[in-house]
Chains A and B, each alone.
Chain A
Amino acid sequence: MSLVGHQAPPIFRRGPAPLVRLILLVSICLAMLVADIKYRYLDVLRQGLSVVTYPLQMAAAAPADVVRNASRYFATLLEVQLENADLRRQVLDAAQLLLRFEHLQRENEALRSLVDMSRRVPVRSVSAEILYNAPDPFARKVILDRGAQHGIEAGLAVVDAHGVIGQVTRVYPVQAEVTLLTDKNQAIAVESLRTGLRGVLFGTGQGKLEMRFVLAGADIRAGDELITSGLDGVFLPGLPVATVSSVEREGQAFAVIACEPAAGVENSVQVLVLGRAELPPAPPAELTQAESAPRSR
């Protein structure tokens, strides 16, 4: 090994020159960046090496756990009693709805079988807790305390008590990484609860959401609630996502629709990971052919 900016005589030279090594390593890094971000080829390597870093990560997370648990330990009796009363009231409300829901579900199944429609896919869910924000400052991600061992898979939806907060993007053995809806690279298929107008919701990166590619003349206004449409085949249909906060239609083909997330996307703690128990059936062959065929007249 020789020092940078200093050429050793040939008999002392060990290995390639520093500049050569720099160029070699930088090109390896650039290749890895492209392979990881664009094609996601390196997830196997990431999983493998995460076994090495995992004990260190657990040890490092311990101080954060202590701080979290300490605040819980020192909660006053009054606070706990108030919270308990609040939770009892919520359980009562939820139980009412649940009774009606079960009745409606049975009725729905009976009606669906009458008209020979396919049955709704069963849903499975795992409850989890958000451990901390992922340290990567370039993305909006959080880490869950449940992972592959608890049945979590990449692509599942993550909801809190008020609506969708994001999607599982990476799964480790006992942890999972969730990309929040407000991340710039996250999109979700939605529809308007009032009109059934479909669209795609994107994160803008500043804690806000934006519905894109909706024509300026479309029937949408501030205050409309948006729910998942389920068209993406990933999210279950009907989960609340956001509320439209403002619509601008001036001078463009598409309206600029700003939305506020319905759930506490960046501050919820207890969440539920929801997914379909099986993949939705593939679309019929003739339909896909008709869609993909070039439109010639």
Chain B
Amino acid sequence: MQPTNRSSRILLPVKLWFIWFSLIAALGVSYIPTGRLPGVPDWVAMVLAFWCIREPLRVGMGTAFVFGLLVDIGHGAAMGQHALAYVVLAYLTTWLSRRVLWFSPLEQALHVLPVLLLAQLLMVVARLAAGAEFPGWWYFLSSFTAAALWVPLTFLLLLPQYQPVDRDDNRPI
């Protein structure tokens, strides 16, 4: 069966300030110190992936690079580590963007999961090559929690774009 975009709602255009607000809010949330708790999702990567899929002409590799550097500084990680991962993530999600939106949010999460895992793998390879300690397999759990949170995130970030549902029989849409 040919997959179709089942959403029947017509969305308002995204406001540019909302994109930036959501990215900066994700950055702030990622700065909350959680210590060595495994499975905390990478909020910035999730929101970046979301906007790269929804608005590939507005958010892309440049934005990913800048936010990657800001995450590196806030986390005390090596400069360029998150930037590298996010640039590749943005490239891949932009590439997927015209395919992913034909699926339901749950299936979209399945598309995003391997991309998030690849981004984490890139960071591990970059740091291990520089002689750092392997953080353990629990490190990759955060991609799975991120994928599990994809549906609520989609709802949250689409909320400002939803139109109020008021049925008008005289109006075709």
Residues of A within 8 A of B (CB): 1, 3-5, 18, 21-22, 25-26, 28-33, 35-38, 42, 45-46, 49-50, 52-53, 56-57, 59-61, 63-64, 131-141, 143, 170, 177, 183-185, 205
The answer to whether B35 and A132 touch across the interface, beta carbons within 8 angstroms, is yes
Whether B165 sits at the interface, judged by CB under 8 Å, is no
State which residues 118-172 of B face A: CB under 8 Å. 124, 126-127, 130-135, 139
A residues less than 8 Å from B73 (CB atoms): 46, 49-50, 53
With A53-B70, A56-B74 in contact, do A26 and B36 touch (Cβ < 8 Å)? no
The answer to whether A25 and B31 touch across the interface, beta carbons within 8 angstroms, is no
Determine how close the nearest CB of chain B comes to the CB of A277; give it in whole angstroms.
Answer: 28
With A45-B79, A57-B74 in contact, do A3 and B98 touch (Cβ < 8 Å)? yes
B residues less than 8 Å from A1 (CB atoms): 57, 60
Q: Secondary structure of the B side of the interface?
A: helix
Q: Which residue of A lies closest to B33 (CB)?
A: A132
Residues of B within 8 A of A (CB): 24, 27-36, 56-57, 60-62, 65, 68-70, 73-81, 83-84, 87-88, 91, 94-95, 97-98, 124, 126-127, 130-135, 139
Q: Which residue of A lies closest to B83 (CB)?
A: A29
Docked CA distance A3–B29 (Å): 30
With A18-B91, A132-B33 in contact, do A33 and B126 touch (Cβ < 8 Å)? yes
Interface centre among A33, A46, A49 (most CB of B within 10 A): A33
Docked CA distance A36–B70 (Å): 15
With A25-B61, A30-B84 in contact, do A60 and B32 touch (Cβ < 8 Å)? yes
B residues less than 8 Å from A36 (CB atoms): 78-80
A residues less than 8 Å from B91 (CB atoms): 4, 18, 22
A–B complex contacts, Cβ < 8 Å, 25 sampled: A1-B57, A3-B57, A22-B91, A25-B61, A26-B84, A26-B88, A28-B65, A29-B80, A33-B79, A33-B80, A33-B81, A36-B79, A46-B73, A50-B73, A53-B73, A57-B31, A60-B32, A132-B35, A133-B35, A135-B75, A136-B76, A136-B77, A138-B124, A141-B76, A170-B76
